[in-house]
Chain A
Amino acid sequence: DTEVTQTPKHLVMGMTNKKSLKCEQHMGHRAMYWYKQKAKKPPELMFVYSYEKLSINESVPSRFSPECPNSSLLNLHLHALQPEDSALYLCASSLGTPPNYGYTFGSGTRLTVV
């Protein structure tokens, strides 16, 4: 298995909703990441988990809450989002940190906040 699987593929949520994005990989990678990508822009790093521990939080607002239940799973819990949070949310994994061999990205969750 050489994939990072993200669900759901599309999500529309209201500003008072609570939802979660899920990410799964079975490549034995020990680092997992959440990225946010706006249209026509490069991905922006949000969080890094290394060996299931949060190692980097790029000053992300608390309405985004990551969780790493085990080495294969990564969640992003969303609450009280704003319309400007609408974006493509990408999960990625790498063998370790730093990501010397690059990341494997999932296909992303297209999030629309209404």
Chain B
Amino acid sequence: GQQLNQSPQSMFIQEGEDVSMNCTSSSIFNTWLWYKQDPGEGPVLLIALYKAGELTSNGRLTAQFGITRKDSFLNISASIPSDVGIYFCAGLTNMDSNYQLIWGAGTKLIIKP
């Protein structure tokens, strides 16, 4: 089946550092979604991307839809303690009723004290 490879699996960073994570696949996607999940909560949508090459920002977060439509990255600038959590990418395969939403395995962000 279709798979998304999300990396890194976890990151230990210092407060103030920039963070980068990405998702890659052998399949083409029409939409990329980036979610963040805090412990004991549901995922929250951070950024949605709809076109190849699209670069979208949401505050300190920036995400890009890869030109090949097979990858996407998420950058966080100047990390702060509330950025800790698990970040998931998800790719939508089709725009019709035969769609599939494929999830990455997640990137756990931990800020060193």
Residue of chain A at shortest CB distance from B31: A100
| Interface SS of chain A | loop
Is B78's CB within 8 Å of the partner chain A? no
A16 to B40 alpha-carbon distance, docked (Å):
26
Q: For residue A102, which residues in chain B have a CB less than 8 angstroms away from its CB?
A: 33, 35, 45, 48
Task: Give chain A nearest CB distance to B60 CB in angstroms.
Answer: 20
- Please choose the segment from A62-70, A74-82, A91-99 that sits at the chain B interface, where 4 or more of its residues have CB less than 8 A away: A91-99
| B33-48 interface code vs A (CB 8 A; 1 in, 0 out) | 1010000111111001
Q: How many A-B residue pairs have CB under 8 A?
A: 55
Give the total of A residues in contact with B, Cβ under 8 Å. 23
Interface residue ranges, A against B (CB under 8 Å): 4, 6, 40-43, 45, 55, 90, 92, 97-108, 110
Q: Are B105 and A42 in contact (CB under 8 A)?
A: yes
